Structure 1
Amino acid sequence: SFFFICIYFHIGRGMYYGSFMFKETWNIGVILLFLVMATAFVGYVLPWGQMSFWGATVITNLLSAAPYIGTSLVQWIWGGFSVDNATLTRFFTFHFILPFIIAGVSMLHLLFLHQTGSSNPTGLNSNPDKVPFHTYFSYKDALGFIILLAALTLLSSFTPNLLGDP
């Protein structure tokens, strides 16, 4: 999807500019990538068709290769000894909870980014003409949010058929 394309461009930009030198920020970014991939995977399983059933079976069985804990981990994820309704319930729960975890880890990622500073490939001082975030950008973002909310409210109130199935 387009979201993953943007993530891969973000990773590529980080590799190009040497952002991997900031180890904490980079490692948290890698954790974020795995969390997003896990969320996409459990979301893929939710329609519970043949492809998603066998996708869940094959991908979760890959974890059984982990020494000592692999089999127990797979049985915990499945909620039994095979992919079943308990697996679907667990994947739905993971699909609901993981975005909140991703939001928290993203905030941690930004915190580390602000502590270390983002990569500066030109090496020039970027301080002279900075605009403070609060007041200018806060009000600008709030205005954009209000306009978007008003547009969606008007659409759903006066022309609800435009937002439904054809």
Structure 2
Amino acid sequence: MMPRRGPPPTTPENALSKFIDGVLGQMLAAENRRLQTAIDKMVERQEEIVSSNGVLAFAYKGTVYRSVRAFAIPQNKRYPSLHLSLWSDMETLLADKVYIDRDRQTINQMLYKCLNGFKDTQDFRNRLPEVLVGYLDGPSRQIPRTVPFEEAVCLDERDMKMYQRILPRIELYAVSRLIY
């Protein structure tokens, strides 16, 4: 038998994962832009302190951070280490990144729990938190909710409490996309 060629077949789980990844990408785009802008400023400050002849990148704790203006930076090149005076600012920036990455993972897990196992478009809409309806394409946005969210999702008491705890962060990221 010949091996199958081409992309893997699309399954409901793949489609759901792609949808959630797309929503998270859009929700967190403003935060990612903010972090990249902070890295760009850090690169500029590094250049002011240590004249590195226009190298638009620096190394910090084994990771290379680069400016968006740096197009093709060779991977085998040695980069200047971040100047010691900038370490505390970089630690603050990395703490923000860790917080956002943790939020991304938590929101991803919660959305998957809410949406996994939907039966049809109406069931998907009923399970989708209201704040995320704007991320749906065209006609799907117009589908009204027929069942309250709490009844549509199959969450136990612990997961529902977790959802209630994370909902303000989902709302914050969803709204920040509109503002920034």
Give the TM-score normalised by structure 2. 0.28
Structure with more helix by fraction: 1
Give the TM-score normalised by structure 1. 0.30
Structure with more strand by fraction: 2
